[in-house]
């Protein structure tokens, strides 16, 4: 019997040990040279072409490589698309579901927890003017009223109620962010039409409508998935609702924010600042207008989860386990498209290839 092909189109395991274990289990691996991060700097988006006999494909979530319906049709016995990342928006999930192909992701705590921590850092950098103070001193300056920051939390002594933080998306990341902010005694509100009421209660967050959140928040921070509903969720109309003193943080996905509308809002002082770990086009073109806004915008190269001891390395055993389960004909953990399970079971359930 021929060995089942596992196409790791964006390798993450730099040690190669998981690859060795997969081969020892009976799989044949197809991999490009290098690791995923070397490919992530490409501005060209490519469609993955799979070997016709591929049983499993594995990679990360970035827009340089797409798993499309055509990719899946090129491998008619494809069982699984596995992601080393929490995100999976470069996979056509609907196409996978129609074909009875499972998509799994890797919501490791180091990954989503790192996003929450990074969001805190971005938020505080803007509110406390960390970059401006550093540059001012290095340029020979010292104390200056223009460097005053914003006090974030509530103060019991004088009744100051603290800032209002608006969280869009109360999933793993949004919930952790709420927990991190709890000791600051800020006012937490959130918009998530898919979260249960108990989640808001558990994390001491008040549920509100999107417009209410935008109007009332001093910080608006995005932690929702990218899909048809959330693409350009924050555009000209939504930015116009925000306070002139408010800041926007996007550590989710670039296309959730209309960056042209964001530029206009920042350039016209209709909002005070923005911190973006993600952009619609990554890397951005050098002519991107946002790049010329100075301290009004804090930019990061989609690396909010790149932290020592965490990052994607924690997902390697998760993906390895998912691949082996699928090759054995077992349902792996962390399935994104559960609607595909009945058809998957009829096509592959209990049918081991190793």
pLDDT the model gives residue 309: 74
- Report the alpha-carbon distance of residue 95 to residue 67 in Å, rounded: 10
- Report the alpha-carbon distance of residue 121 to residue 115 in Å, rounded: 10
pLDDT the model gives residue 37: 63
* Nearest to 223, CA basis, from 203, 198, 201: 203
Whether the Cβ atoms of residue 351 and residue 344 lie closer than 8 Å to each other = no
* Nearest to 119, CA basis, from 69, 165, 52: 165
Q: What is the 3-state secondary structure (H, E, C) of 31-55?
A: CCCCCHHHHCCCCCCEECCCCCCEE
- Report the alpha-carbon distance of residue 35 to residue 12 in Å, rounded: 6
Please give the sequence-ordered ranges of beta strands (E in DSSP) within 53-119, or none if there are none.
54-59, 65-66, 80-83, 102-104
Whether the Cβ atoms of residue 328 and residue 354 lie closer than 8 Å to each other = yes
If residue 174 lies in a helix (H) or strand (E), which one and from where to where? helix 172-181
Helix residue ranges per DSSP H, 235-280: 236-241, 259-267
Q: Is 302 a catalytic residue?
A: yes
Q: Is 136 a catalytic residue?
A: no
DSSP annotation of 162 reads -
Other CB atoms within 10 Å distance of the CB of residue 252: 28
Whether the Cβ atoms of residue 80 and residue 102 lie closer than 8 Å to each other = yes
Other CB atoms within 10 Å distance of the CB of residue 141: 12
Whether the Cβ atoms of residue 218 and residue 164 lie closer than 8 Å to each other = yes
State in Å, rounded, how far the first CA of the chain is from the last one. 9
* Nearest to 58, CA basis, from 320, 298, 266: 320
Q: Is 253 a catalytic residue?
A: yes
If residue 20 lies in a helix (H) or strand (E), which one and from where to where? helix 17-24
Whether the Cβ atoms of residue 189 and residue 165 lie closer than 8 Å to each other = yes
pLDDT the model gives residue 138: 98
Q: Which of 98, 282, 328, 347 is catalytic?
A: 282
Other CB atoms within 10 Å distance of the CB of residue 88: 23
Per-residue pLDDT of the chain (354 residues; tens, 9 = 90+): 689 999 999 999 989 999 999 999 999 999 988 666 665 666 667 899 999 999 999 999 887 789 999 999 999 999 999 999 988 989 999 999 999 999 999 999 988 999 999 999 999 999 999 999 999 999 999 999 999 999 999 988 888 899 999 999 999 999 999 999 999 999 999 999 999 999 999 999 999 999 999 999 999 999 999 989 999 999 999 999 999 999 999 999 999 999 999 999 999 999 999 999 999 998 899 999 999 999 999 999 999 988 877 778 889 999 999 999 999 999 999 999 999 999 999 999 999 999
Structure tokens at 223: 């932690």
Q: Which of 63, 176, 253, 320 is catalytic?
A: 253
- Report the alpha-carbon distance of residue 114 to residue 313 in Å, rounded: 13
- Between the alpha carbon of residue 64 and those of residues 12, 90, 100, the distances in Å are 15, 9, 25
DSSP annotation of 141 reads -
């Amino acid at each position: 019997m021929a060995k089942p092909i596992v196409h790791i189109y964006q390798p993450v395991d730099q040690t190669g040990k998981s690859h060795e274990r997969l081969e020892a289990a009976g799989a044949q691996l197809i991999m490009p040279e290098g690791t995923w991060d070397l490919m992530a700097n490409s501005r060209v988006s490519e469609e993955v072409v799979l070997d016709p006999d591929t049983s499993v494909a594995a990679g990360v979530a970035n827009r340089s490589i797409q798993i499309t319906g055509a990719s899946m049709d090129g491998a008619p016995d494809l069982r699984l698309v596995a992601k080393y990342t929490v995100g999976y928006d470069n996979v056509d999930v609907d196409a996978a579901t129609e074909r009875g192909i499972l998509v799994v992701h890797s919501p490791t705590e180091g990954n989503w927890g790192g996003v929450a921590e990074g969001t805190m850092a971005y938020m505080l950098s803007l509110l406390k003017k960390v970059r401006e103070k550093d540059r001012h001193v290095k340029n020979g300056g010292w104390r200056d009223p223009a460097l005053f920051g914003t006090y974030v939390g509530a103060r019991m002594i004088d009744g100051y109620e603290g800032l209002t933080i608006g969280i869009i998306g109360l999933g793993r990341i949004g919930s952790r962010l709420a927990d991190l902010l709890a000791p600051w005694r800020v006012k937490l509100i959130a918009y998530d039409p898919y979260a249960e009421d108990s989640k808001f209660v558990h994390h001491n967050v008040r549920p509100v409508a999107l417009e209410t959140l935008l109007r009332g928040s001093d910080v608006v921070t995005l932690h929702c998935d990218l899909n048809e509903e959330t693409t350009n969720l924050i555009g000209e109309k939504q930015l116009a609702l925000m306070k002139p003193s408010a800041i926007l943080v996007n550590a989710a996905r670039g296309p959730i924010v209309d960056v042209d509308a964001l530029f206009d809002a920042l350039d016209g002082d209709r909002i005070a600042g923005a911190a973006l770990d993600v952009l619609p086009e990554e890397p951005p073109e050098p002519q991107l207008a946002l790049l010329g806004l100075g301290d009004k915008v804090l930019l990061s190269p989609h690396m909010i989860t790149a932290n020592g001891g965490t990052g994607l390395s924690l997902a390697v055993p998760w993906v390895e386990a998912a691949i082996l389960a699928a090759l054995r004909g077992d349902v792996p953990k962390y399935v994104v498209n559960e609607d595909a399970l009945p058809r998957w079971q009829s096509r592959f359930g209990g049918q081991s290839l190793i």
